[in-house]
Structure 1
Amino acid sequence: MNKRSNSIITAGLLASVLLAASPFALADHHGDRKGHHGKQDMAEMCEDFREGKGRFDQDKRHEKREQRRAEMAERLQLTDEQLEIWADIHEEHREKHEQRREKMKEKIQERCDALEK
């Protein structure tokens, strides 16, 4: 074989090996997340749920949400009438979110109760 054919075959073989090996090289890479496949430990989640900390700290989340809304309203330079409409829209969104949150709290409570048994 000539030099060109050897180079093409070698490049093709190298590319094939790299493609075949890539899933093995990247396997078991889940980043810095907790638990397996990014799922949080159920016992730890239930503890956070009962204590209202972490992702279940509603006061902290509410403060951040209100701060972002205020900053957005300021950037948009809304008039008083527009601010009232803005507040009404966000109140409707908050009510819908509260309904979804209550359903999720019930599901989490059931899971945590089942875990304790």
Structure 2
Amino acid sequence: MKYKTSLIAASALASALLIGSPLALADHHGKPPFGERPDMDKMCEQFREGTGPFDPDAREKRMAEHRAEAEKYQEEMAKRLKLTEEQRKIWDEIHQERREKFKERAEHWKEKLEKRCAEE
């Protein structure tokens, strides 16, 4: 009798968990699947006019600030690692390669945005 009762209780618990798991995991409740996306018309308009996040002067200023912070962080990290001259040279080359890859990706993003905005 005890075995039958515990089997029924375990089955009921497993059923409740299986029924409730999709509801617990689906927390987006009507939101778009990839989060909030910007309005493409507004973004393309800003891109063409060079305003908002596409303002070249403001963008260059933001990038310069970010570069300064990144270089400061890299300097601190290199000091903590106590790199030799040869290691430091390799360290700088690695970070230079990363900056170049980022520039390539940024150009690719810009080309994609130009293409996307030209279609509208």
Q: Distance in 1 between matches of 2:67 and 2:117?
A: 24
Give TM-score, length-normalised by structure 2: 0.65
Alpha-carbon spacing, 1:3–1:67, altered in 2? closer, same or farther (3 Å): same
**1:67 is the counterpart of 2:75:** no
Deviation of residue 87 (structure 1)? 1.6
Give TM-score, length-normalised by structure 1: 0.66
> What value does the CA root-mean-square deviation take over the aligned residues?
3.1
Q: Distance in 1 between matches of 2:39 and 2:68?
A: 27
Q: Deviations over 1:22-63 (max 9, x none)?
A: 101321348xxxx62343422289355424789xx4334323
1:28 counterpart residue number: 27
SS in 2 for 1:37: coil
Q: Percent identity?
A: 39
Unaligned stretches of 5+ residues in structure 2:
47-51
Q: Which moved more, 1:45-54 or 1:92-101?
A: 45-54
SS in 1 for 2:27: coil
Q: Which of 46, 50, 56 is residue 54 of structure 2 equivalent to?
A: 50
Q: Distance in 2 between matches of 1:50 and 1:89?
A: 29
Q: Distance in 1 between matches of 2:55 and 2:25?
A: 37
Deviation of residue 95 (structure 1)? 1.6
SS in 2 for 1:99: helix
Which amino acid letter does the alignment assign opposite residue 93 of structure 1? R
Q: Distance in 1 between matches of 2:96 and 2:73?
A: 15
1:6 counterpart residue number: 5
2:111 counterpart residue number: 106
Which has the higher relative contact order, 1 or 2, with Cα contacts under 8 A spaced 6 or more apart? 1
**1:90 is the counterpart of 2:90:** no
Unaligned stretches of 5+ residues in structure 1:
none
Matched residues, number:
108
